[in-house]
Amino acid sequence: MQPNLIQQEEYINHLLKDIPREKQTEVLKEAYKNALDTRKFEIDLYWKRATYFWAFIAAIFLATYSMLNSNFLLNEKDPSITILKKALIILIVLLGYLFSLGWYFVNRGSKVWQKNWETHIDLLENTLNGPLFKTLIKPNLNFWSLNSYYPFSVSKVNQFLSLCVTVFWALLMNLLIVFLFKLQEEFCCWMLSILTTSFALFLFSFIYYKQTVSFMHKHWKKGSAYKNPTYIDIN
């Protein structure tokens, strides 16, 4: 089933196609109000989710740091217990990678819905109250004016930060596997370890990605009889 795709100039007619003429203005006002409220709700959720991930990632980092800077790996006479403790550290780092990658995916997913409702607002506002959200202050483009405002994208900063934290955990896992299991002395050993770990993380990330895409992705790629929304072409 092919997705329903409309152009931006068709948007108002699409909303009102089954609405009696006397109710059309009321319907547009209600749609505009719902779009504003839902956009605000999505932004609130965005920062609540960010706080949730920050808390867990900080706790995981603290746990890793504490284990590496304590006697956790020392004074253990049983080699098998030592190996288990090292494996536990690796698993905790993997958990940090899992949460950081999830944070990155959630940031990108949240941006979809923010963009969705911002598009509804953009297309509705001209009809109802003029181009309020399209009328902006002139931006300050002098980056080196450090006390002034600058048009950074807050969501892009957060998204890039989450990607950097994900890469950090991946690098940390590679380093810990090499040094905890003393593979650094042989070039072939630590190189093979890094390649194997990197491939395993890539495979894990790909499976994670495939299992977490939303109905929008699945419907647009394959079609779906379960949900058949209409899409607005914003490109």
Residue 12 CB neighbours (<10 A) = 16
- Is a pLDDT exceeding 90 seen at residue 84? no
pLDDT value at residue 120 = 92
Q: For residues 133 and 31, what is the distance between their CA atoms, to the nearest angstrom?
A: 16
Q: pLDDT by residue (tens digit) across 176-219?
A: 888 887 776 777 888 888 899 999 999 999 999 999 988 777 66
Contact 88, 70 (CB under 8 A): no
User: Which pTM value belongs to this model?
Assistant: 0.87
Contact 140, 149 (CB under 8 A): yes
pLDDT value at residue 56 = 96
pLDDT value at residue 1 = 59
pLDDT value at residue 76 = 61
pLDDT value at residue 225 = 47
Residue 129 CB neighbours (<10 A) = 11
- Is a pLDDT exceeding 60 seen at residue 226? no
Contact 111, 153 (CB under 8 A): no
Q: Determine which of 24-33, 166-175, 182-191, 199-208 has the lowest per-residue pLDDT on average.
A: 182-191
Contact 91, 172 (CB under 8 A): no
77 pLDDT band, cuts 50/70/90, is: low
Q: Pick the residue with more confidence: 8 or 160?
A: 160
